[in-house]
Amino acid sequence: MDDQRRQAADWFHLLRDRIVAAFEELEDRAAGAAEAGRFTVTPTERAENGGGGLMSVMRGGRVFEKVGVNWSEVHGTLAPRAQAAMAARGVPGMEDDPRFWASGISLVAHMQNPHAPAVHMNTRMFWTPGAWWFGGGTDLNPCIEYAEDTAHFHDTLAAACAPHGTDYYDRFKAWADEYFFIPHRGRARGVGGIFYDDLNSGDWEADFAFTRSVGEAFLPAFLPLAEARMSQTWDEADREAQLVHRGLYAEYNLVYDRGTKFGLETGHNADAVLMSLPPLAKWP
């Protein structure tokens, strides 16, 4: 399992590098002769236990108002609350051995143009002495929805899922619809995507191949939408709608998101964990 963990962590790092390069290239095309946005990269370390990662954040770009692309590889001992949560999910051995290892990539992009959709993506591998699994997904969060953008995003994800299981897209789309729902608002935070967790079919290679497909589908699913909308004209009413919609995103990530809770409970860098929050938001 050591070799498999190394493969997974290295691939998540490579995906991070590819996405950062693609986003900076899009900034170059949008800026022309003007100054383009660039990522600031900060190494992160865990205050306790071990490991860390890279926090890559761009603020004030031509396309991206704020975007973070984080990679991490961490290990150590779960705090009692996190250990109890894992045991409640049925993770084998958690009651007796709270050691863990995890690696993954986490991305959230908040756009300058209100017509361009915000987006989230993450893929990860988690290991304990009694089990391993993959999880992740991606979902689109437009404040002004375009049916053709939603269709493109979902069609790309369906094509990525198809070689791995005839029911994968339908299952994981339904899971995303449930997972990214905000109960106290009675609505979804966006137009969905796919979400999966605790994926262990017994075939590590197959599950890792599917997780790679999810990660590799992200840029083809999202970049054409960002490029098509980045120069579209907008007005103050559009900006107001964008800021209010971002409030939904902030509420969800602070109240319900598993990754936010896990990162804070296991002592990871708080700025990296909360990278997903929008730079500005409003509440009616």
Q: List the catalytic residues.
A: 120
- Residue 131 near residue 33, CB atoms below 8 Å: no
Q: What are the distances in angstroms from CA 62 to CA 68, 175, 229? A: 15, 34, 12
In the three-class reduction of DSSP (H, G, I as helix; E, B as strand; rest coil), residue 107 is classed as strand
Give the span between the Cα atoms of 59 and 271, in whole angstroms: 14
- Residue 14 near residue 216, CB atoms below 8 Å: no
H/E element holding 195? strand 192-199
Tally of CB atoms within 10 A around 26: 21
| CA-closest candidate to residue 126, choices 158, 166, 162, 92 | 92
* Pairing mode, strands 64-77 and 187-188: unpaired
Give the span between the Cα atoms of 48 and 52, in whole angstroms: 10
Q: What are the distances in angstroms from CA 90 to CA 84, 98, 162, 204? A: 10, 13, 28, 19
- Tokens 């705090």 belong to 79
Give the span between the Cα atoms of 121 and 137, in whole angstroms: 6
| CA-closest candidate to residue 234, choices 149, 148, 144 | 144
Tokens of 6: 């190394």
